[in-house]
Structure 1
Amino acid sequence: MKNGKIRWSILGLIWVVILGLVFFTMPSTKQAVSQNQTIKLPASYTTAQAQKIQSDWNSQTKNKHKIQGRQAIVVFNNGNKKLTKIQSDKIAKKVTNLNKQRKQYGIDTIVSAKTSEAAERELVATDGSTQLVQVTLQRNADVGKLNKALNISGLHVYLTGSSILNQTLAQEIRAGLQHTELIAIAIILVMLVLVFKSPIIPLTTLASVGISVAVSKWLVLKMVLAGWIPFSNFTFVLMVVVLYGIGTDYNILLYTNFKKQLETKPLAVAIKQTYRQAGRTMLLSGMAVFVGMASLAFAKFAPYQSVVGVALSILVLLTVLMTLTPAFMGLLGSKLFWPRRELKQKQTNSRVWGTLAKISINRPVATLIVVLGLFGGLALAPKQSVDYNTALEVSDHQPAKQGLMVIKKHYPAGMISPTTIYLASNQRLDTQANLQILDELTSKINHISGVQTVASVTQPYGQPVAELYIGNQLRAVSKNLSQANQGVADLQAGVDQTQTQLKQQDIARQVKAIDKLSDGSAKVAKGTKKVATSLNEANATVKKMAKYLKKHQKDLDEPQYALLSMYLETLQTKLGKDAPTMTDELVDKANALVAPINELSKGAQKVSAGNQELAAKVETLPGEQAKLQDQLDKSKTGLAGLKTGIKSLNGYLAELEKSPAGQTFYVPKTMMRNPKFQPALNNYLAPNRKTAKLLVILTVDASSPQAMKIFDQLQTITKGTLLGTPLAQTKIAMGGGTATTHDLRHISRADMQRTMLIMLIGIGIVLIFATQSLLQPVYILGLLLLIYRLTLVITNWLTSQVLGQTSLTWTTPFLVFVMLLSLGVDYSLFYLKHWHNNGWQLSGLAGGARTIGIVVEAAILILGATFAAMLPAGVMTLSQIALAIMTGLILLGILLPLVLPALLTLTYRKSKINSHEAETRIKD
């Protein structure tokens, strides 16, 4: 006896030492949350590929630590009133100070309304009430410290963004879990006191479960930080509720059996017998739950894989219950049940389970028909709507959530989380042909219903740059031709003036007008050169256009190419043939006109020197005048034809400008080197110019069902636009909130079905060994699936009526499945193993239901109250899980004693089974 006490004391001391080491070496939960803040998706999903492309992009830049940065948005809001100039100046000053102190606050980059005109258009609300500042935070940035630094008197200031919202949600879950744990401890203490009529057993139960929680948390954090297992916001939630749930169940089972053994056996024998019976049941049940959860290591989705941490906690719990709990039994013995002195008292049984089991055994077929009739149709109800918007889970009183609501009110709904389309090619994208493809893609996306703006290298401000399109360039050619036309008009005026002067009969007056005539002829020559220059420029431009069209014939469809070819052939005919001949002749005529006029001017000057010379010159004037008139008539004819040609050309150009061809993107080489175009190249093309990105802002919420439809269109149009082009082999990836939600929906739905199957198979295998039967595991798992479906349907209705939430969060169905499967397997095995221990006799089904029913009812009552403690936490997922588990526990308490005895009765009532056979062979 004394040796036994020493042994149990040593075991207890070992756990005290372990608990002390755990307490002083507990890893940081914040660090684990920070490392796993974003949901990691498999590499085959587009968001994972987008992250890889962005990392490669960042690695090419000087500021390489931006790879680890997280995007956030600072919201400065003046309610519904327009920001005053004083307030705007305060915001600008605040941004300036933040820029100076970026290192202090862990800020990498800041983009504000003062950064550029484009940024101002994007970041200042149209009603002027709100300004946004985009910041990139380092992973270790102190958000609380930054929040304090952002405060401006008289303004609402919020720090928000997807990473900030996720961090806020994690904090809320941790706070809610701590709150729930404290309430759960109080509830368990009270309920166990009522069940065992003793304060000692509740304390030892909480001690064993509490140590299991602490050691499990330490172990899981160590493995998470080492990168051995994944982690999610709900790892500890599930761990705590599972350990407190099944830990309490197992303690009730052990202490109930121990009390029964102590009635007739010595302490050492009672402990041994307790673990031979109840301990064996506990191990089988715990291993079934462990195998089920551990099998989730084969899941693809990290949040589902994180359940492996909960599986490890099951092993810790079983270890504690197999060592520390018997130590309590050995050290305290019957004192565990103090203040009771007599242990042998009338056994309390469950009337509810006994009555339900009796009905089920007497009328198994009718019972199953009624159950299926009442619950089968409900279980087959349409699937419940599931929301994948993490922001909805954050409480409305949180500043990050309030900032999000301000953005949604004053900006496009998709502003908070734009979609980024990445195009990773093996060739440079800053060529004319590839830029044209990118511009075509940008324009097509811009026409999708639900898209607010699209920004790309060719449309950096969300709008086409007019100078980069052929229509605008044709407008410039038309302008040159209009100037040429004006030159022709000036030329015609000069010719008319010259002819008028020549027609004067008064030679003296003609002599006086010679200088004016000389000036007119000079204007003719100047105008002619101007016309020639303009026409030559137009001719050169058309030649370039024709050369470009021929080079990129394969990039245009047949009708478009034919239309362009027709216009350009006509232009080439007019400008390439008629115009050069016309202009050359016109220049020759003008030069011929200038020479005699100048000569005439010289003669007129000599008149004053001598009458003879004047007479000689004047006598020659009529002949020269006739020649000159003839030349001027020819010039007028040429000028009229030239004016008609220019008018015709302008008509062609106007048609071409308005045609679809006018919308063709074309970047001259000079524009590529233009400093004004460099920011667009640097922002939307990677430094190696082989990767491009497009930023798409939607008019709808990034996580809404409408956004999912738009996302599908984005993928289809992007792939379709690149198909058949030189960029057909380009890798396409999408990032941002909509892409993440899209991938999250896809993988969570697909992997949940796969995960459920894995868990069912894993637990089923353990149940086969535990029950020595093939059918009994099928009965158990089938019943639990029915209860799970019923639970979701009822929970969806309750969340709508009680919590005012129209849909379940995406994590709720999975967490509820894991919990109900774990608890359901426990309660089923408690019942079946009691039946097995009594020889598999059908007569023992009702008695077993009464005996085990009281244990299960106590566990259900305690667990139900424990989960009810999660409702005040204020976290949507925790509230929904609480309602679901409470609902599922009630259904378990009703359906398990109805369905399982009925199925067992129908299976075994024709078999002659004795105790020996039950222990040596499989009965099915």
Structure 2
Amino acid sequence: MFARLGRLVVHHPWKVIGLWLLVIVAVVASAPKLTSTTDQSEFLPSHYESIQAMELQQKAFPQSAAPAAIIVFGRADGAPLTEGDSAAIAAVGEQLTAANLEDVIGLQTVPPSENKLIQIIAVQLTKMTNQGDTRQGDAVEALRTALKRQVEGTDLKAGITGQAAQMLDQQESSAKGMAIIGVATIVLILVLLLVIFRSPVIALLPIVTIGAVSSLVGGLIAMVARAFDLQLDSSVNSILLVVLFGVGTDYILFLMFRYRERLRAGEDPKTAMVGAVARVGEAITSAAGAVIIAFTALTLSTLGMFRALGPALAIAVAVALMAGLTLVPAVVSLLGTKVFWPSKAWKQEPTGARFAALGAALGRRPGAFAVVSGGLLVALGVLAFGFNPTFDLTSGSTSDVSESVVYNKELLRGMPAGATQPSEVLLRADGGVLTVDQLAHFHTALDQVSGVGRVGEPKLSDDKATAEFQVTLDSAPESDVALATVRGPLRDAAHAAAPAGTTAAVGGMTAVFVDFQDAMNHDYAVVFPVAAILIMIVLALLLRSLVAPWYLMASVFLGFAATLGAAVLVFQRIQGDSGLIFTLPVIMYLFVVALGTDYNILMVARLREEAREGRDPREAAALGLRHTGPTVAAAGVILAGTFASMMLAGNNVLSQMGFAISVGIGVAAFVMAMFFTPALTALLGHRAWWPGHGDRTAQEVKPGNGDSLRAGSGGTEARPVAPGGGESR
């Protein structure tokens, strides 16, 4: 199959390139705009209490909404506000109202805080109608410009925070982060490929080809998102960028190593490329299949953000695979050996002394290598039990010097920490209207809850059947303490105090985070096992073994635990953060489990090839590490490096993601695939391939026993050839 594909591409390169261009133009021209959202409530299904409360609020109070932005005032010298200052602040509010700024529909000046350190103006903005609506952000920018003029030359300082301001600053921070990530990723790929191949042509090959198909990926994802009404998280663009370039470069790297190997064997360039596609095709297709399965398994998630992210990343990997098997071979077949210009090193077989020595040592003492590498994974994995999820995405995804973060801290000098996003408790009469006594009793019950700073007076709907109580918590709305307050005391008190014939529901952003936590616990119990089973099926079909998939997946999950433990060690233990972003385990699962399986497939495929040459298990492991070690190492460095570039984005969310994924890929490449997997395979010997004959030579396998031997190119070679693997550089 892959030999036929290789011949088709190599003999008709211009047609292949032209077809790619036609598809790209057609998809880009017809695809809708790819949009994303930062509203976490959009990702939860409707049966969660926070969503039910939101729907009840929208129905009962269609014109009501919490302030979209908050203007925070204080004295520049930090002293308490005077009566003159308060009068000046009221005047600022009147002048901003008189300015009739677009999409600013209301400003309400609130009395100073009890300690007189701050005073606020609550700002109502036009509601956003869709994910791409920028009116609130534009209004905040206009307010900031007007506010700066109003306080200039006075004793006051002022800034804008609140949800709309935080979203604006987050978008600006993300745009800067994307630019940094993009430049760092491209520079890293160029430098590493120059070091590996000593050729600017090969270094530019993935940049040009993957850059060309990136618009195709964005268009396909936008089409799928619209067709299935999927909500994409705002972080998807950063992740897509590094996935497409990182994984795509890996697949191109595997192909070029094999191409160079065939040239060194004396084949002409076109025959060498056909052979490279034939040999590497099954391995990278199986590896990509495992990644795609892991990603698409997220469609089983109860959270919309993961149901959308999984297919989006699966599309990116599928396109990268197709480009690696068709577009890149077509381009290289036109260039021939000029692709290595100006280097002549491709003509000479290197000694590979370092990996030869490592392979020899592993072949002599596989047990020691298995214990040391496995022990490292277990030691780091133990630290994973200290993982604490945090929902503080807003401050974590923007710079500490951004206005919304600075004035959110200023706000906390005079108001409870939950003032920026108060919880909302809705009380609904199932029939009739709510009485004054019922409202008073319910208000008292909420006010007595531990962790509640203030309960506002109830606001009644027009039909007097629904009341809304604004509950300000003592703790920041995304903190562990706030989540515990809503999950336990507040919801318990609201449900218990609801009079007969009424229903209570607790909503607001903290309640959304509480429900998010419950949904993710459900996903861990469903998505992870399903993905593991499907990946094991792929491994079993590829390797024709029921034993190997078990220890390969065991090593991958050890790598997952070790990666999470390393992140806990660095960010929670050393850096002192309260926790790691709550999505980190799932993001790590996407890349560490899926891509860790990639490298295991490449290594085991080479081990099988060496075994089929008649070598015993230990010798096969030694030679497998010698020949495939450089390929896995180069691919691991490139992929880990592209994800590490996320740490340059300047915010904690992307820093944690970049660190964890790059460490996970490093563990997968340099611990699992390079040492742990070949050591276990050597120790298990022939049992690793049971009940098949994956390690038998052609002479040992009797005809008709079900073990088909693969030919390298059109079935012309006598010996079986395993796809994947590589060579020493």
Q: Same fold by TM-score, threshold 0.5 exceeded?
A: yes
Tell me how far apart the structure 1 counterparts of residues 301 and 572 of structure 2 sit (CA, whole Å): 31
**Which structure has the larger Rg?**
1
Secondary structure of 1:423 counterpart: strand
2:273–2:333 contact (8 Å) kept in structure 1: yes
The offset of 1:721, in angstroms, is 2.1
From the superposition, tell whether residues 391 and 408 of structure 1 become closer, same or farther in structure 2 (CA, over 3 Å).
Answer: farther
The one of 410, 414, 420 aligned to 2:424: 420
Are positions 1:397 and 2:401 aligned together?
yes
1:673 counterpart residue number: none
The offset of 1:361, in angstroms, is 4.1
1:344 counterpart residue number: 347
Listed as ranges, the matches of 1:539-578 within 5 Å are none
Tell me how far apart the structure 2 counterparts of residues 717 and 4 of structure 1 sit (CA, whole Å): 68
Secondary structure of 2:230 counterpart: coil
Tell me how far apart the structure 2 counterparts of residues 13 and 262 of structure 1 sit (CA, whole Å): 27
2:106–2:123 contact (8 Å) kept in structure 1: yes
Tell me how far apart the structure 1 counterparts of residues 358 and 47 of structure 2 sit (CA, whole Å): 51
Please report the TM-score for the alignment, with normalisation by the length of structure 1: 0.68
1:704 counterpart residue number: 479
The one of 62, 69, 73 aligned to 2:70: 73
From the superposition, tell whether residues 21 and 88 of structure 1 become closer, same or farther in structure 2 (CA, over 3 Å).
Answer: farther
Q: What is the CA RMSD across the aligned residues, in angstroms?
A: 3.0
Tell me how far apart the structure 1 counterparts of residues 454 and 123 of structure 2 sit (CA, whole Å): 21
The one of 333, 337, 344 aligned to 1:334: 337
The offset of 1:47, in angstroms, is 1.2
The offset of 1:185, in angstroms, is 0.4
Tell me how far apart the structure 2 counterparts of residues 447 and 257 of structure 1 sit (CA, whole Å): 71
2:643–2:658 contact (8 Å) kept in structure 1: yes
Letter aligned with residue 107 of structure 2: I
1:177 counterpart residue number: 178
1:914 counterpart residue number: 696
1:851 counterpart residue number: 627
The offset of 1:783, in angstroms, is 0.7
Quote the sequence identity (%): 24
Tell me how far apart the structure 1 counterparts of residues 588 and 361 of structure 2 sit (CA, whole Å): 29
Tell me how far apart the structure 1 counterparts of residues 505 and 707 of structure 2 sit (CA, whole Å): 58
Are positions 1:874 and 2:650 aligned together?
yes
The one of 453, 469, 492 aligned to 1:694: 469
1:269 counterpart residue number: 271
The offset of 1:169, in angstroms, is 2.5
Letter aligned with residue 58 of structure 1: F
The offset of 1:813, in angstroms, is 2.5
Letter aligned with residue 500 of structure 2: P
The offset of 1:175, in angstroms, is 2.2
Letter aligned with residue 648 of structure 2: P
Letter aligned with residue 447 of structure 1: Q
The offset of 1:49, in angstroms, is 0.8
- The structure carrying a bigger helix percent of its residues is 1
From the superposition, tell whether residues 134 and 40 of structure 1 become closer, same or farther in structure 2 (CA, over 3 Å).
Answer: farther
Are positions 1:302 and 2:266 aligned together?
no
1:209–1:247 contact (8 Å) kept in structure 2: yes
What runs of 5+ residues in structure 1 fail to find an aligned partner? 114-119, 458-683
Secondary structure of 1:795 counterpart: helix
Letter aligned with residue 245 of structure 2: Y
- After superposition, give the CA deviation of every residue in 1:315-361 in whole Å (9 maximum; x if it has no partner): 22122222210111221011111113574311353734x55554444
Listed as ranges, the matches of 1:835-846 within 5 Å are 835-840=607-612, 841=615, 842=617, 843-846=619-622
Secondary structure of 1:915 counterpart: coil
Letter aligned with residue 780 of structure 1: L
The one of 290, 295, 299 aligned to 1:293: 295
The offset of 1:166, in angstroms, is 3.8
The one of 557, 560, 565 aligned to 1:788: 560
Letter aligned with residue 304 of structure 1: F
The offset of 1:227, in angstroms, is 5.4
- After superposition, give the CA deviation of every residue in 1:684-737 in whole Å (9 maximum; x if it has no partner): 121122111212112222222222332211111222223xx433xx33221123
The one of 712, 715, 721 aligned to 2:497: 721
2:680 counterpart residue number: 903
Tell me how far apart the structure 2 counterparts of residues 755 and 160 of structure 1 sit (CA, whole Å): 37
Are positions 1:253 and 2:251 aligned together?
no
- After superposition, give the CA deviation of every residue in 1:554-582 in whole Å (9 maximum; x if it has no partner): xxxxxxxxxxxxxxxxxxxxxxxxxxxxx
Letter aligned with residue 566 of structure 2: I
2:52 counterpart residue number: 49
Letter aligned with residue 266 of structure 1: D
- After superposition, give the CA deviation of every residue in 1:282-312 in whole Å (9 maximum; x if it has no partner): 1111111111101211111122222221111
The offset of 1:885, in angstroms, is 2.8
2:434–2:466 contact (8 Å) kept in structure 1: no
Letter aligned with residue 462 of structure 2: P
The one of 373, 384, 387 aligned to 1:384: 387
The one of 662, 668, 672 aligned to 1:886: 662
2:9–2:16 contact (8 Å) kept in structure 1: no
From the superposition, tell whether residues 166 and 769 of structure 1 become closer, same or farther in structure 2 (CA, over 3 Å).
Answer: farther
Are positions 1:146 and 2:143 aligned together?
yes
Letter aligned with residue 169 of structure 2: T
Tell me how far apart the structure 1 counterparts of residues 178 and 102 of structure 2 sit (CA, whole Å): 30
Tell me how far apart the structure 2 counterparts of residues 300 and 862 of structure 1 sit (CA, whole Å): 33
Tell me how far apart the structure 1 counterparts of residues 245 and 416 of structure 2 sit (CA, whole Å): 45
Letter aligned with residue 644 of structure 2: A
The offset of 1:868, in angstroms, is 3.2
The offset of 1:179, in angstroms, is 0.8
Letter aligned with residue 903 of structure 1: L
Tell me how far apart the structure 1 counterparts of residues 67 and 684 of structure 2 sit (CA, whole Å): 60
2:495–2:503 contact (8 Å) kept in structure 1: no
Secondary structure of 1:697 counterpart: strand
1:511 counterpart residue number: none
The one of 119, 122, 125 aligned to 1:131: 119
From the superposition, tell whether residues 278 and 782 of structure 1 become closer, same or farther in structure 2 (CA, over 3 Å).
Answer: same
2:218 counterpart residue number: 217
Tell me how far apart the structure 2 counterparts of residues 223 and 77 of structure 1 sit (CA, whole Å): 48
- More deviation, 890-899/404-413: 890-899
Letter aligned with residue 320 of structure 1: A
From the superposition, tell whether residues 902 and 172 of structure 1 become closer, same or farther in structure 2 (CA, over 3 Å).
Answer: same
Letter aligned with residue 881 of structure 1: M
Secondary structure of 1:785 counterpart: helix
1:775 counterpart residue number: 547
2:380–2:563 contact (8 Å) kept in structure 1: no
1:312 counterpart residue number: 315
Secondary structure of 1:410 counterpart: coil
The offset of 1:167, in angstroms, is 4.2
Secondary structure of 1:232 counterpart: coil
1:811–1:877 contact (8 Å) kept in structure 2: no
The offset of 1:91, in angstroms, is 3.0
From the superposition, tell whether residues 226 and 875 of structure 1 become closer, same or farther in structure 2 (CA, over 3 Å).
Answer: farther
- After superposition, give the CA deviation of every residue in 1:780-822 in whole Å (9 maximum; x if it has no partner): 2211111111111122222257655342121223212211123
Letter aligned with residue 635 of structure 2: A
The one of 495, 504, 509 aligned to 1:732: 504
From the superposition, tell whether residues 290 and 4 of structure 1 become closer, same or farther in structure 2 (CA, over 3 Å).
Answer: closer
Letter aligned with residue 137 of structure 1: L
The offset of 1:216, in angstroms, is 1.3
1:73–1:160 contact (8 Å) kept in structure 2: yes
Tell me how far apart the structure 2 counterparts of residues 823 and 401 of structure 1 sit (CA, whole Å): 36
Tell me how far apart the structure 1 counterparts of residues 18 and 644 of structure 2 sit (CA, whole Å): 35
Number of equivalent positions: 671
From the superposition, tell whether residues 273 and 55 of structure 1 become closer, same or farther in structure 2 (CA, over 3 Å).
Answer: same
Tell me how far apart the structure 2 counterparts of residues 3 and 799 of structure 1 sit (CA, whole Å): 51
Tell me how far apart the structure 2 counterparts of residues 363 and 342 of structure 1 sit (CA, whole Å): 33
Tell me how far apart the structure 1 counterparts of residues 707 and 503 of structure 2 sit (CA, whole Å): 60
Tell me how far apart the structure 2 counterparts of residues 277 and 3 of structure 1 sit (CA, whole Å): 15
Please report the TM-score for the alignment, with normalisation by the length of structure 2: 0.85
